[in-house]
Amino acid sequence: MKSLDVKVWGIRKRATQKSSYDVRWRVAGKVFSEQFRTKGLAESFRTKLLWATREGEEFDTESGLPASMDEKKPSLTWYEFALRYLAMKWPHAAPNTRDAINEALASVTLGFLTERPGRPTDTEIRRALRNWAFVLPGPDARDDVPDDVLNVLRWVAKASRPLAELAEPATARAVLDSLKLKLDGRAAAAETVRRKRRTFVNAINYAVDLGEFQENPVTAVRWQKPKVSGEVDPRVVANPVQARNLLAAVSYVGGYRRARGRRLVGFFAAMYYGGLRPAEAVGLSESDLVLPAQGWGSATLHRTRPTAGRQWTDSGETHDDRGLKNRPVEEVRRVPLPPQLVAEFREHLETFGTAADGRLFFTEKGSVVPSSTYYRVWQEARLLALPPAAAASPLAARPYDLRHSALSTWLNAGVDPTEVAERAGNSVEVLLGRYAKCLDGRQEVANSRIERLLSEYD
């Protein structure tokens, strides 16, 4: 039944533990109300009601809404919405970000299915979603999709629950809880859960933009986020003696003739002496360097080659080719190079030259050095350089830990944090929150100073 007898009242703030706002209106003598978490959302809803009354729209006496706000849209499933969200985000996202979005959407989809006959295994569903559904171009635009994958995706499309069900706090909480578990039922890493939740929340913000929700129901859920440590574990930080031993050991990996390790000594040295990220070191070219015969040199960083995977890059190559991390494409960063690193680079160029495009570090075939290759070389070097107890510890367990060691060394040497942050390509806040850690053995130096001070009073 329709009515033109409409009266829209103002907004009332509710005196509850958590602030909320009511919009109240009357249709044919019957009072309706909607509750919102913010005053802005309430104002927006009230404005729509007022606009409908001025336009002379008929209001439904059952729902209390005008035709423009009470359209009976077909129920959009989560899976249909996730495909729309992916299409919106993909063109503007970096390759590794695409991978993270894909992983999050696959996890939410897997945790938001109804029970239907013929359910594939969770492994089959996840594989179909990760490798085919949430990658562009999608399955509908490709003719090489295996039949078994198509069958899985058809089942998912039918079993996916309506997006609107996420408005129920219990449902949204259940989906969030599902993000905490791996397929085998074990707990996922806190950083992984945090990353997936961030994508999930962003996706529902897009659903709000599309008019599927008045406000984001996920952010309203009281859900305990896993705690993520932003600090570097001091056990991974190598002191200068340990770092030199590790770099020397790299040259012995893989034999002299193949030079599997010798090709990468300068690569690892760039991270320790220059504080470069691995992707920055991989992208270094000879033209970026100033390498004097004596003293300090410099590197002008403007290019990174992060490992991403062929399905995530626009070029179809394993390595992305892009600017500096979290910086505009055209931005550069000048990094001073200590004499030790200058000498390593000069020796590397004399021995191996450069790749065809001028890159310092390349494989025997001239291609970009994969992360799997330099990771394996580093693990072999640790076994050669460190005593068994140290090799079994977290000390310099990953190549990236050389960067942690570099920044910690600079800070402990008394270099101003602003200068360290500039060289490292970080903000001062991130630097002090993550990298201001002591070197291995630095505690003994502090203990010695304290002991000397106390002994003066004995």
What does the pLDDT average to over 90-98? 91
Question: Percent of the chain having pLDDT more than 70?
Answer: 93
pLDDT confidence band for 440 (50 / 70 / 90) = very low
pLDDT tens digit sequence for 164-183: 999 999 999 999 999 998 87
197 shares its domain with 330 = no
Flag whether 299 is in a domain: yes
Count of beta carbons in the 10 Å neighbourhood of residue 314? 12
255 shares its domain with 396 = yes
Q: What is the pLDDT of residue 442?
A: 57
Cis-peptide, bond into residue 137, ω within 30° of zero: yes
150 shares its domain with 263 = no
What domain count does the chain have? Answer: 3
204 shares its domain with 247 = no
Checking if the pLDDT of 258 tops 90, the result is no
Q: What is the pLDDT of residue 13?
A: 75
Q: Domain containing 25 — which CATH number? A: 3.30.160
Mean pLDDT of the chain: 88
Which residue in 447, 444, 440 sits closest to 405, CA to CA?
A: 440
pLDDT confidence band for 439 (50 / 70 / 90) = very low
Checking if the pLDDT of 70 tops 70, the result is no
Flag whether 225 is in a domain: no
pLDDT confidence band for 306 (50 / 70 / 90) = confident
Which residue in 272, 80, 63, 106 sits closest to 196, CA to CA?
A: 106
Which residue in 412, 414, 408, 410 sits closest to 395, CA to CA?
A: 408
Q: Domain containing 324 — which CATH number? A: 1.10.443.10
23 shares its domain with 132 = no
pLDDT tens digit sequence for 277-298: 999 999 999 999 999 999 999 9
Can you tell me the distance from the alpha carbon of 264 to that of 272, in angstroms, rounded to the nearest whole number?
13
Count of beta carbons in the 10 Å neighbourhood of residue 422? 15
- Contact status, residue 149 vs residue 123, Cβ threshold 8 Å: no
296 shares its domain with 359 = yes
247 shares its domain with 360 = yes
380 shares its domain with 283 = yes
151 shares its domain with 276 = no
291 shares its domain with 331 = yes
Which range marks the domain in which residue 428 is found?
A: 235-442
Q: What is the pLDDT of residue 15?
A: 62
> Sign of dihedral through CA atoms 397, 403, 409, 412?
negative
For residues 312 and 391, the model is more confident at 391
What does the pLDDT average to over 247-276? 93
Q: What is the pLDDT of residue 354?
A: 95
Q: Highest-confidence range of 25-29, 230-234, 307-311, 443-447, by mean pLDDT?
A: 25-29
Least confident of 216-220, 326-330, 354-358: 326-330
Flag whether 365 is in a domain: yes
pLDDT confidence band for 437 (50 / 70 / 90) = low
32 shares its domain with 138 = no
Flag whether 285 is in a domain: yes
142-180: b or e for each residue (b if 16 or more CB lie within 10 Å)? eeebeeebeebbebbeebbbbbbbbbeeebbeebbeebb
Can you tell me the distance from the alpha carbon of 234 to that of 396, in angstroms, rounded to the nearest whole number?
10
Please name the residues in contact with 258: beta carbons below 8 A apart, sequence gap of 6 or more: 364
Checking if the pLDDT of 400 tops 90, the result is yes
54 shares its domain with 87 = no
CA 319 to chain centre: 17
Flag whether 294 is in a domain: yes
- Contact status, residue 226 vs residue 180, Cβ threshold 8 Å: yes
Cα dihedral: 203, 206, 208, 213 (round 10): -40
Q: What is the pLDDT of residue 415?
A: 86
What does the pLDDT average to over 329-335? 86
